[in-house]
Amino acid sequence: MRAILMGETTNWHDVGGRDLPIKIVQVRGDGGVQASVEEVLLNGKSIGALDPIVVQISTQVVKIVEQLPEALGLSQLSIVAKSNAVELKLDHPVQQHLNLVTLGDPAPEMRKVIDAAHLIASTALDQ
């Protein structure tokens, strides 16, 4: 996977697939999925695949992957699960870590939002 994302492996044939060029599909800019993949899989290096297909929003990633047999998309699992695309499972999942921060101690209203976010996140992890 690292070799594909770094642009070193450029054809599916090289990894046991059909003789097609690998096309990475990702959301424009430095989104959370891309940042997480770069941190976890590439040890902080940028994705170096040649000529990626860049889209505006994350739902477009899966739509393109469903249409192009040479495409490999970077997307949230929740979006993939609602599509006909196939999740590529790795030995270690790529997870995005989010933090809530405040300047100084949070006000009581802010604390309620923080506590609710923690509850939702912990419930989602249990599923």
- Same domain flag for 69 and 32: yes
Q: In this structure, what DSSP letter does residue 45 have?
A: P
Give pTM, 2 decimals: 0.77
User: Cα(42)–Cα(30) distance, rounded to whole angstroms?
Assistant: 15
% pLDDT > 70, the chain: 96
- Same domain flag for 102 and 72: no
- Same domain flag for 22 and 58: yes
93, pLDDT greater than 70: yes
The confidence band for 91, taking pLDDT boundaries of 50, 70 and 90, is confident
- CATH number of the domain where residue 39 is located: 3.40.190.10
Q: Widest CA span of the chain, in angstroms? A: 59
Neighbouring CB atoms inside 10 A of 57's CB total: 11
Q: How many domains does the chain have?
A: 2
Residue 42 lies in a domain: yes
Would you state the pLDDT for residue 126? 55
- Same domain flag for 17 and 76: yes
- Same domain flag for 52 and 13: yes
Q: What is the mean pLDDT of residues 119-124?
A: 79
Contact 62, 79 (CB under 8 A): yes
Instruction: Give per-residue pLDDT as tens, 42-83.
Output: 999 999 998 999 999 989 999 999 999 999 999 988 899 899
- Same domain flag for 77 and 101: no
Q: Which pair of structure tokens corresponds to residue 60? A: 């477009």
Task: Identify which of 45, 50, 39 has the alpha carbon closest to the alpha carbon of residue 7.
Answer: 50
Range of the domain at 47: 2-81
- Tell the burial category of 62 from Cβ atoms under 10 Å away from its Cβ (0-12, 13-18, 19+): buried
- Same domain flag for 115 and 63: no
- Cβ contacts of 33 within 8 Å, gap of 6 or more: 26, 27, 58, 74, 75, 76, 96
- Same domain flag for 6 and 65: yes
